[in-house]
């Protein structure tokens, strides 16, 4: 199949970028989206042009490195799918495909389609952990009885790969789904519950500092999340946040 790609090109964070058009020919429907970009890049290199920069790592849908806003949706048209697991059979011959980086003030473009997502790392550093020593006398986690329902919910939240699709899809560029998944994952378990109040306050305050927008509960994030993280987590984080505001000191 032959396609027309409209791709965001930007040399560096300081330079203004723009959409450029690239025709691609003989694309196999069995290629992944990233493989299709690889082919285009080989072409560009052969022609002496600068290849398109994009993030990728495991290409198995589990690392959260790949991104790309494809035809108006993060990770493209397939739900519950990362860009690396999106295949060209999802498109038709002759299609024009828009490929853009995540757009958010907190995710500045580094080059072309690569954005700086270290804002997420700083949110995690602000409280997305459990303070236990790992110096050799750590208790076996399985020794602590945890209700199955809580364990399942914590696990669901923990499937968040931190790709940032929630921010990219939100009309307010809000990071609430990501932060709430991390808050839920830790708070639902007895090891993490101890620091629940402090954690939610610190993570939310860091989230605001990074310049993400506010949640208006449109639900775009849970539709576009490749791991199906649900709005239930946002409600839980709001609950935890209000709880600590109402009874500070906890």
Partner 1 sequence: MAFTGLFLCLFLVGHLAGNFQLFLDGYEAKLQFNQYAVFMTTNPIVKILSYAVYISILFHAIDGVLLTIQNRRARPQRYAMTKPSANTMWSSRNMGLLGTMILAFLIFHMQDFWYDYKFGEMPHMTTEDGSAVLLKSGEEVLDATVNVNYQVVSKTGEVLGPVMKDLHEEVMVAFQEWWIVLLYVVGIIAIFFHLWHGVQSAFTSLGLKTPKVEAAIKMAGYGFAILIPLAFAIIPIYVYLIF
Could you list the residues that contact partner 1 (CB under 8 A)?
6, 8, 19, 69, 71-73, 77, 98, 100, 103-106, 169, 171-174, 211-220, 223-224, 231-232, 234-243
The nearest distance, CB 25 to partner 1, in angstroms, is 22
The nearest distance, CB 58 to partner 1, in angstroms, is 25
11-34 as b/e, with b when 16 or more CB fall inside 10 Å?
eeeeeebeeeebebeebeeebbbb
Round to whole Å and give the CA distance between 21 and 15. Answer: 19
Round to whole Å and give the CA distance between 79 and 90. Answer: 11
The nearest distance, CB 80 to partner 1, in angstroms, is 13
Q: Please give the distance of CA 67 from its chain centroid, rounded to a whole number.
A: 7
The nearer residue to partner 1, 20 or 42, going by C-beta atoms, is 20
The nearer residue to partner 1, 32 or 230, going by C-beta atoms, is 230
The nearer residue to partner 1, 58 or 242, going by C-beta atoms, is 242
The nearest distance, CB 62 to partner 1, in angstroms, is 23
Question: Hey, is 18 helix, strand or coil?
Answer: strand
Q: Please give the distance of CA 152 from its chain centroid, rounded to a whole number.
A: 21
The nearest distance, CB 153 to partner 1, in angstroms, is 9
Question: Hey, is 114 helix, strand or coil?
Answer: strand
The nearer residue to partner 1, 69 or 199, going by C-beta atoms, is 69
The nearer residue to partner 1, 12 or 131, going by C-beta atoms, is 12
Phi-psi region of 206 (alpha: psi -120 to 50; beta: other; left: phi over 0): alpha
């Amino acid at each position: 199949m032959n396609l027309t790609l409209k791709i965001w090109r930007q040399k560096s964070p300081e330079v203004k970028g723009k959409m450029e058009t690239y025709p691609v020919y003989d694309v196999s429907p069995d290629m992944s989206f990233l493989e299709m970009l690889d082919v285009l890049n080989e072409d560009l290199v052969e022609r002496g042009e600068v290849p398109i920069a994009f993030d990728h790592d495991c290409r198995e849908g589990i690392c959260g490195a790949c991104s790309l806003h494809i035809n108006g949706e993060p990770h493209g048209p397939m739900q519950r799918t990362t860009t690396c697991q999106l295949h060209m059979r999802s498109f038709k011959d002759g299609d024009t495909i828009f490929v853009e980086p995540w757009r958010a003030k907190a995710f500045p473009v580094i080059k072309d389609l690569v954005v700086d997502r270290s804002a997420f790392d700083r949110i995690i550093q602000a409280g997305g952990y459990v303070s236990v020593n790992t110096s050799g006398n750590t208790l076996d986690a399985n020794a602590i009885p945890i209700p199955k329902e809580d364990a399942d919910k914590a696990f669901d939240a923990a499937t968040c790969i931190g790709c940032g699709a929630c921010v990219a899809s939100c009309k307010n560029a809000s990071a609430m789904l990501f932060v709430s998944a991390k808050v839920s994952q830790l708070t639902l378990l007895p090891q993490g519950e101890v620091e629940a109040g402090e954690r939610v306050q610190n993570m939310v305050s860091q989230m605001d500092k990074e310049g993400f927008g506010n949640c208006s509960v449109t639900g775009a994030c849970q539709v576009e999340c490749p791991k199906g993280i649900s709005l239930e987590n946002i409600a839980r984080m709001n609950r935890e946040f209000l709880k600590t505001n109402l009874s500070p000191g906890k």
